[in-house]
Amino acid sequence: MIKAVTFDFWETLVRDSPENLARQRARRIDAIARALDRAGRRLGGPGVEEAYDRSERVLYERFWSRDRDPAIGDQVRLVLDIAAPGIGAGLEPALLDEAIAGYIEPVLHYPPELHPGAAEAVGGLAARGLALGIVSNTGRTPGIVLRQILDRYGLLSHFSVISYSDEVGYWKPDPEIFRRTLEGLGTEARHAAHVGDNPVADVTGAQGAGMLGVHLAAGGRPPAAHADMIVTDLRHLVDRVLG
């Protein structure tokens, strides 16, 4: 019997467009450029852009490939240090705060749209008394901002436990981020399911923690053969999970 359901965030509860992603990226790069300029370490636009792109590879090598995630302040310092070595440690706190704010807020200006059926799935499960949580990797946008997106769509109040990788320190598919969420929900893994679009991060990760892995294979995405359940439309999730 399923008593709790957790959701991935990106491409599960919300989905983003290439245009939005490009605009968000441009605003982050601009925020880094402004911080460098104000710190007296001016770097031309192409140089900042190259450092930003290089930081993705460094983040992957140091953290994400090891299923770990730094706090967002540490991520911003890393990007700044790649652009101008040594600047992160000596940056004035107020200027660092300004850089972090500019780095994390682009999604608020160009928000993703709610995934079709997400509101019905979340509301339907909550109405039936299931405990709900979120287990999601964050990338460039931290949990503190993603909560605001959930709140805009009226979904935040439905989730009693939210585990974002930049806050927990673990990156899916590491089972620990799922285990900590289940502990907060007060639910045994065998009574819980996780819903997400990524066959490895979501399905394999949840299964590694003893949960059911539900693959959201929407938009023609090929279903994961190892998933415990396949859902192609979130509007069907309530019936599938409780059926």
For residue 78, pLDDT over 90 is answered with yes
Q: What is the rounded CA–CA span in Å between residue 80 and residue 66? A: 22
The reported pLDDT for the residue numbered 16 is: 96
* pLDDT tens digits for range 140-151: 999 999 999 999
The per-residue pLDDT of the chain, averaged, comes to 96
Residue-range domain boundaries for the chain: 4-16+112-242, 18-109
Over residues 75-93, the mean pLDDT reads: 90
Helix runs in the chain, H state only:
18-38, 45-62, 72-83, 87-90, 93-104, 106-109, 118-127, 143-152, 165-168, 175-185, 205-208, 237-242
Q: Which of 208, 211, 221, 213 is nearest to 182 (CA)?
A: 211
What is the percent of the chain where pLDDT is above 70? 100
The reported pLDDT for the residue numbered 168 is: 98
For residue 118, pLDDT over 90 is answered with yes
The reported pLDDT for the residue numbered 88 is: 76
Q: How big, in percent rounded to 5, are the helix, strand and coil portions of the chain?
A: 55, 15, 30
pTM, to two decimals: 0.95
Q: For domain 4-16+112-242, is the CATH number 3.40.50.1000?
A: yes
* pLDDT tens digits for range 89-107: 778 899 999 999 999 999 9
Over residues 62-74, the mean pLDDT reads: 97
The reported pLDDT for the residue numbered 44 is: 77
